[in-house]
Chain A
Amino acid sequence: MTAPMTRPMTRPPFHLAVALDGTGWHPASWREPGARADELFTAGFWVDQVREAEAGLLDLVTFEDAFALPDERPDHVQGRVDAVLTALRVGPLTEHIGLVPTIVATHTEPFHVATQIATLDWVTSGRAGVRVKVSSDPAEYALFGRRDPDAETRESLFDEAADHVEVQRRLWDSWEDDAEIRDAATGRFIDREKLHYIDFEGPHFSVRGPSITPRPPQGQPVVTALAHVDTAYRLAARSADVVFVTPDGTGRHGPTGDAASILAQVREAEGGVERGAPLHVFGDLLVVLDDTAGAAHDRLRRLDESDGAGGPGLRSDARILVGTAAEVADVLAGWHDAGLTGARLRPAVTAHDLPRVTGELVPELQRRGLHRTAYEADTLRGLLGLERPADRYAQV
């Protein structure tokens, strides 16, 4: 990759993200050469992954998270560290890439999440995002002992998540940008007329505000969500800036349809709400990459076997592409033609597939004019072509 001396003024037509999840999305990925599974709970492991993604000029990385562990098999990775803190640990050691940790709206305080994400935005000078998800796993409810999973429906969980995001957004705006005045003459550090109570009231929580943290550099950090069904598209339309979808995937509740039909559903959901810029719609794709399609299939077969002969093999809600970087580029070009604005790749084995993304896919996309050749902005909103929004409480 040769970066031009001056920054291109235009945004790339298509955005590229990577979803980081431990050693990769294949359950046997930790056993692969170079997987560094014994370093999974150290900072260096995460810093190196994100730097690799940044070397590929990606828009952002997401960090998966959950409070409950997904299974109990001693031959699978057991254990996680907190995603928001992982992003904060990486933040000072990267320069351009957006950092988007996952939070579970169902079991967290919107006030704490708002200040954590605002802190991430301050630490990174404007590269913070957040991926919001809901929890319906009874095991997660038992970890908190605060509510009954049977009392929730998919609708009530998504409504609560929308409220959670609304509180975050109001708290981020609860300090106007110029609230800090340091007026020695009157002894006032802030102009309190520029700090605002948010007075949110909802069925799950009421939050008074203002935030303890000043408005972050982006004003509004980037909110994202993964969606497979209409309820989730509506949440994204109400609350998010970026929605991750699963074209040609098996979904969580049945097949999700192709890129064009998903996009139509998302745009319809957006039509039902008031919002500014249209949603970015990124297609998720789980990738198993190699020099040839045959080699990639051999790798997957070997991974599946090492996870247990006769087992179901790799499963995913997203489409799984087993092949070459050029084949991935073809799929992404097709998604671009269908109107998607980006893709989020889930590497099957991070140690193997992430370098293929940055070293092979990225140059291929650059050749096709679908990926930047240098970072053109300093904030995540900037990379995504989103304006820094005015403060909702500011007097015009």
Chain B
Amino acid sequence: MPKQIHLAAHFPGVNNTTVWSDPAAGSHIAFASFRHFARTAERAKFDFLFLAEGLRLREQGGRIYDLDVVGRPDNVSILMAMAAVTERIGLAGTVNSTFNEPLDVARKLATLDHLSGGRAAWNVVTSWDEFTGENFRRGGYLPKDKRYLRAEEFLDAAKALWDTWDADEVLADADAGRFVRHGSADRAGRFTYRSDQFDIAGRFPTPRSPQGHPVILQAGDSEEGREFAAASADAIFTRHAEFDAGRQFYADVKARLAQHGRRHEDLKILPAATFVLGDTEDEAAENARQVQYQQVGPATAIAFAEQVWNRDLSDVDPDGPVPSFDPRTSDDVDSGGHISKGRASVRQYKDPVAVAREWRELGEREGLSLREVVIRKNGRHTFVGTPQRVADTIDHFVQSDASDGFVLVPHITPGGLDEFADKVVPLLQEKGSFRTEYTGTTLREHLGLRPSPTTVVPAARE
């Protein structure tokens, strides 16, 4: 049997990749959209759904950014509701470790796992910016250099809480009058956890959930991110969806597992990928071009340039050349003075003057307008072609260890996955590299992960 492909479906988010202006684009908040998307992914036997998170609306130039989709539900909440309209598919969401407390998040995820029959997954992220902190009790309390420590300890604390209940602790034996096996003085939730970030103790209120630990996801290409994933995560999201870079990333991360006492298959590597289909290669290419123009309208082109130039460019013509002047460099993105707020991607512009020069040179060399340069730089679609071509490419990536599968990011809500489900998935199934039915009930089973340890670790960490 060939190596099995794992597929996840990313509910279209609040980036310009989501095309809201298309006639087929529906609501981003009505439950019917989530239900449609979830049921499509489940019909296609995907491993899991994924939702990203943002806890403050983005701003540019001191005003709320209005060119992309704005507005989303609370992640764990909408995942819980989607559990009611699906039966098998995994339910994954980002939950921030900076503006939450471990007991609350561990309890919510354990509840999601209980009430979905073992389908919960958590993408642990960390942030430190004061901008997001303005919506929360503690504000911008976390120093930048402690953000990974916070995330690490948060996850460690959550795992310790989940481990405070034995899998067989709940007896519910009415005749014997015994609800739990142990007297609660020693087990049944008892914990103490002290670390740099946390000083908590008591009883974790929720019994062990079907998966024990929900599946842990980690997004990150950085050195810290890779190491964090190799030590603690069950799956890693990456931007490395190109073949050679993907193989390098894959080999690097998998090689780190052994030193953490983990097996090759204990961590799944899932690059994010977009796709555009067509009945012929030419049609697919034309569809892809049209989507790119929808994704980068004239106003979006200017907004993207402003993120590099770090100044107002509303008087620049998007259909004219790339600006000849240099970006403003006095405020970097972490200083709080940058024109763009709440947008992680801007941190890639470490040397904006060099980025601007590159854009300018590209424009001059190929005779491209600013908008065309932005489209080029905004990234190509990962997979463009006929369903057969796309299925072949995905399978090739996975069989060649460039990935274990993909997190697919459709550009239309809620129907953007329909065509993939109808046309590409059957071809993958024909190859024998993608399931035709779910064989397990939990997300750990879908992903081929071992059950989380049921042996009891000491509840106290001092």
A interface with B by C-beta (< 8 Å): 30-32, 35, 37-38, 40-43, 46, 66-69, 72, 74-82, 84-86, 88-93, 107-109, 111-112, 115-116, 118-120, 122-123, 125, 139-140, 142-146, 175, 180, 182, 184, 186-192, 195, 204-210, 212-214, 306
Contacts and interface: CB of A to CB of B under 8 A. Distances in A.
A78 B180 contact: yes
Interface in B102-123: 103-104, 107-108, 110-112, 114-117
Interface string B71-97: 111101110110111000000000000
Given A46-B115, A189-B20, 13 more contacts: A30-B179, A43-B84, A66-B205, A74-B184, A79-B180, A79-B188, A81-B206, A89-B80, A109-B136, A118-B73, A123-B73, A188-B299, A212-B54
A145 B161 CA distance: 14
Contact of B177 (A75, A122, A190, A206): A75
A85 B57 contact: no
22 contacts: A30-B174, A37-B174, A37-B179, A41-B114, A43-B84, A74-B184, A78-B207, A79-B205, A82-B107, A85-B112, A89-B81, A90-B84, A111-B136, A112-B74, A115-B74, A123-B77, A125-B31, A188-B67, A209-B135, A212-B54, A213-B72, A213-B73
B185 interface: yes
Contact of B31 (A72, A81, A123, A209): A123
B165 to A, nearest CB: 8
B202 A189 contact: no
A75 B184 CA distance: 11
A175 B181 CA distance: 50
A143 B21 contact: no
B77 A189 contact: no
A43 B56 CA distance: 32
Interface residues of B, number: 77
A205 B137 contact: yes
A194 to B, nearest CB: 10
A125 B32 CA distance: 10
B274 to A, nearest CB: 20
A187 B297 contact: yes
B432 interface: no
Contacts of B64: 190, 192, 195, 210
Interface string B119-149: 0000000000000001111010000000000
A74 B170 contact: no
Contacts of A93: 84
A120 to B, nearest CB: 7
A89 B84 contact: yes
B249 to A, nearest CB: 31
Given A175-B71, A214-B71, A92 B188 contact: no
B203 interface: yes
Interface in B395-426: none
A275 B325 CA distance: 57
Interface in B29-76: 29-31, 35, 54-57, 63-64, 66-74, 76
B115 A86 contact: yes
B100 interface: yes
B245 interface: no
A108 B64 CA distance: 26
B453 interface: no
A186 B165 CA distance: 55
B388 to A, nearest CB: 34
A212 B135 CA distance: 10
B347 interface: no
B198 A145 contact: yes
B200 interface: yes
A386 B415 CA distance: 36
A119 B202 contact: no
A43 B170 CA distance: 17
A212 B72 contact: yes
Nearest to A46: B115
A119 B81 contact: yes
Nearest to B165: A79
Given A40-B172, A188-B66, A192-B63, A92 B71 contact: no
Interface in B166-185: 170, 172, 174, 177-185
A146 B99 CA distance: 13
A112 B185 CA distance: 33
A188 B63 CA distance: 13
Given A37-B174, A189-B20, A69 B84 contact: no
B199 interface: yes
Given A68-B203, A72-B183, A213-B74, A92 B84 contact: yes
A107 B202 CA distance: 15
Given A115-B73, A144-B101, A214-B29, A91 B63 contact: no
A80 B83 contact: no
A208 B199 CA distance: 28
Contacts of A188: 66-67, 299
Contacts of B134: 206-208
Kindly name the residue among B74, B99, B177 whose own CB sees the greatest number of chain A CB atoms within 10 A.
B74
B201 interface: yes
B218 interface: no
Contacts of B189: 69, 78-79
A68 B70 contact: no
B300 interface: yes
B321 interface: no
Given A74-B184, A80-B206, A107-B104, A122 B31 contact: yes
B301 to A, nearest CB: 10
Contacts of A115: 73-74, 77
Nearest to A186: B299
